Amino acid sequence: MIKLVTAFLFFACCHVTFAQTKKPAASFVKPVYPELPLGAIKPKGWLLNQLNLMKNGTTGHLDEVYRKVKNDNGWLGGKGDSWEETPYWLDGALPLAYLLDDAELKEKVLKYVNWTISNQRPSGYFGAITKWERETGKKLDVENCDKGEDWWPKMVMLKVLQQYYSASKDPRVIPFMTKYFNYQLKVLKTCPIGKWTEWATSRGTDNAMMAQWLYSINGDKSLLELATIIQSQSFKWSDWFGGRDWVINAATQQNDREWMTRHGVNVAMAVKDPAINYQRTNNKKYLSDLKTGFNDLMTLHGLPYGMFSADEDLHGNDPTQGTELCAIVESMFSLEQIIGITGDPLYMDALERMTFNALPTQTTDDYNNKQYFQIANQVQVTRGVFNFSLPFERGMNNVYGMRSGYTCCLANMHQGWTKFASHLWYGTTNNGLAALAYSPNEVTAKVGKSNTEITIKETTTYPFEDKINFEIASKKDVAFPLQLRIPSWCTSAIITLNGKVIRTEKGGQIITVERTWKNADVLTLQLPMQVATSNWGRNSRAVERGPLVYALKLEEKWEKGNDEREGEYFSVYPKGDWNYGILEALVKDPVKNSVVTPIKPVNDNFIWNLQNAPIEITASAKKLPEWKIVNDVAPQPVTDRTGIYRGKVNSDIEKITLVPFGCTKVRIVAFPVVK
């Protein structure tokens, strides 16, 4: 692995060009797991195919097919979009370009990066040319900060530039950020974070996070002062998470009072707020706030696929509530930051559950259409009213389309898979490597006291199979610690070295294998997966196996439509019956009362869809004839406190087939239980 030094906490780098010039603050917490440079991890197998689908779809071509980004773009000096959507797109497209080492995509995204850097004002302000600047011919400075524009889109562009620096070490980035943060420090008293919109107030954590990232490079304590000021002017998410009243109120209120404090994407971004505050202050109360808030959030609003309801507001744990795609990708990014700072396996498990279940189902195979809100028990995908907190008169929030619902998700969905791929591995503080999420990939880094370059080829079809092989390639023997996460769902993991079992370990922990590694060493991690069930809203039950949640397999009927305002879209309907309850016997003994059948191998061309579902689980069920669609959803049947549905149930026992949730578009995943 690349040698880890104090001067470069977030990104391990072999050549540190910006050493700390000032004594670091005693309160600043080094990450447990520093991030690796963008490009150090190369996706392989099915994950590489997923990224290539994105490159060939909207991620690689949004600037060609979406007029707001395409036409006279403000982030290229034009009068067009200067708000969040162009930075949102770049926040996923730029890391994709470097993950794939794709010259064409790099050239495309760097147009925006170069314009942004080259057109920073002498004062440090940056971004699209403002209306005032066009009218006066002047450039924004400290004295006329009120003539600027919202802080929020710049927060996203800072994330883009951070990733660009991680991949390229372009020497322009650090001075650029330094000037901008100096500008902010001078003007926030007169032009506070919330001056223009409440979006910036609700999302100020992202701004503070970037200031703290720069501090980790240059040690300038004024950056910590800036981060503190930004947080003081922003929503008090950490206090709310720890105080608990907020999440309770969010579960009971669906009016327009303070709705921004319940907005699902705001919450998704805010999940990392306690970790960012902890990093700056070393106050462990923030870690407690994080754990309390995350647990409350998932208890009151959690859904079987690992996300909380967000349609657009938090909306309880009923399986008929929706989740916005933006909320998923922002939650993933928050968890990736939390993992690095805290090293807590709880959030690693949460990241995988979210990624392998919630994320794949909300886009089409070609990555050209997205679903604004997905539903857990999604018995049809159609225009309709639904029970979303967002006004439903548009009727387009559930269908698959490029522009259906709100287009923020069209721009923002690209960071989900790309950032997951770039966070499969982290560094360790003792010059080792840590595999904290699993998918096929290859990582190259410098490790050990000798700073020896190695490559580890991770071969697996996880999350579908239970074996993960790590093959070491090194020109010489090298001693370093290799850390592996054992998921909490795994009862007993088996670790094998070169074909010989060396240890077994329980789930819910990080283990370390420390030795002198030789070229061609193969470490195998086996994570036996067993069928289990979990309890969700309204006494429903979900069927799980390993990191995957399984849903009722329903053949799909796709219908194409066209909306005058929002363009082409797709509705999806089931071809078969969906109104089943699982037998109580499955809940009592899931292993005994289910059959797991591998259907087809996962190859390098795998796509998350029904046709490619590699594993099926067969179980017994009975039909509930009175369970029907009402207002476009299937309201969950009422059960008693034992969890059993007491309404009319057909006497015939039928076999139902379950497939991975991420492969479905229509499904039941939260089942009622019947005798």
**Co-location of 631 and 497 in the same domain:** no
What is the reported pLDDT for 24? 63
**β-pairing, 580-583 with 673-674?**
parallel
The pair of structure tokens assigned to 313 is 């507001």
Does the pLDDT at position 21 exceed 60?
Answer: no
Domain contains 211: yes
Q: Indicate the pTM of the whole model.
A: 0.95
Which three-class secondary structure state does DSSP give residue 403? coil
- 82 plus 185 within the same structural domain: yes
Domain boundary among 306, 324, 359: 359
| Cα 250 to Cα 228: distance, rounded to the nearest angstrom | 26
392 inside domain: no
Q: Are residues 517 and 539 in the same domain?
A: no
CA dist 397 and 323 (Å) reads 10
Instruction: Establish if 384 belongs to a structural domain.
Output: no
- Asked if the model's pLDDT at residue 438 lies above 60, the reply is yes
Measure the CA–CA gap between 617 and 291, rounded to whole angstroms: 33
* Dist CA 214 CA 448 (whole Å): 26
Same domain, 314 and 241: yes
Note whether 221 and 244 are same-domain residues.
no
Beta bridge partners of 454: 445, 474
The DSSP 8-state label assigned to residue 611 in this structure reads G
202-255 pLDDT, tens digit per residue, is 999 999 999 999 999 999 999 999 999 999 999 999 999 999 888 888 888 778
Q: How far is CA 553 from the centre of its chain?
A: 26
pLDDT cut 70: percent of the chain above it: 96
- Can you spell out the DSSP letters for 169-200? --TTHHHHHHHHHHHHHHHTTTS-TTSS-HHH
Among the three residues 208, 234, 260, which one is the final residue of a domain in this structure?
234
Alpha carbon distance 13, 15 (integer Å) = 6
- pLDDT per position as a tens digit, 274-333: 999 999 999 999 999 999 999 999 999 999 999 999 999 999 999 999 999 999 999 999
For residue 8, pLDDT beyond 80 = no
CA atoms within 13 A on the CB side of 30: 16
| Number of separate domains in the chain | 4
Please say whether the beta carbons of 569 and 399 come within 8 A: yes
Within a domain: 596: yes
Considering the chain, what percentage of its residues have pLDDT values greater than 90?
92
Amino acid at 183: Y
Which DSSP state fits 254?
-
Is 21 part of a structural domain of the chain?
no
Residues 149 and 258 grouped into a single domain: no
Q: In the predicted model, is pLDDT for residue 190 greater than 60?
A: yes
Q: Domain boundary at 329, 359, 389, which? A: 359
Positive or negative CA dihedral for 319, 404, 69, 131? negative
Does 622 lie in the same domain as 638? yes
210/123 same-domain check:
yes
Backbone torsions φ then ψ of 401, nearest 5 degrees: -160, 160
Domain for residue 306, yes or no?
yes
- What is the band of 394 on the pLDDT scale with cuts at 50, 70, 90? confident
State the residue range of the domain holding 495. 430-460+467-526
Is it the case that residue 38 has pLDDT exceeding 60?
yes
User: Three-state SS for 374?
Assistant: strand
- The whole-number pLDDT of residue 23 equals 60
DSSP class of 314: -
Could you tell me how far CA 448 lies from the centroid of its own chain? 31
Q: 219 and 103: one domain?
A: yes
Same domain? 110 vs 224: yes
50 and 81 fall within a common domain: yes
For residue 29, is it within any domain? no
Q: How far, in Å, CA of 621 to CA of 582, rounded?
A: 4
CATH code at position 454: 2.60.420
Is 424 a domain residue? no
* Distance between first and last Cα of the chain: 55
- What's the pLDDT tens digit per position in 549-595? 999 999 999 999 999 999 999 999 999 999 999 999 999 999 999 99
Q: What is the pLDDT of residues 322-378, one digit of tens each?
A: 999 999 999 999 999 999 999 999 999 999 999 999 999 999 999 999 999 999 999
Same domain, 243 and 140: no
For residue 7, is pLDDT > 50? no
pLDDT at residue 249, rounded to an integer: 84
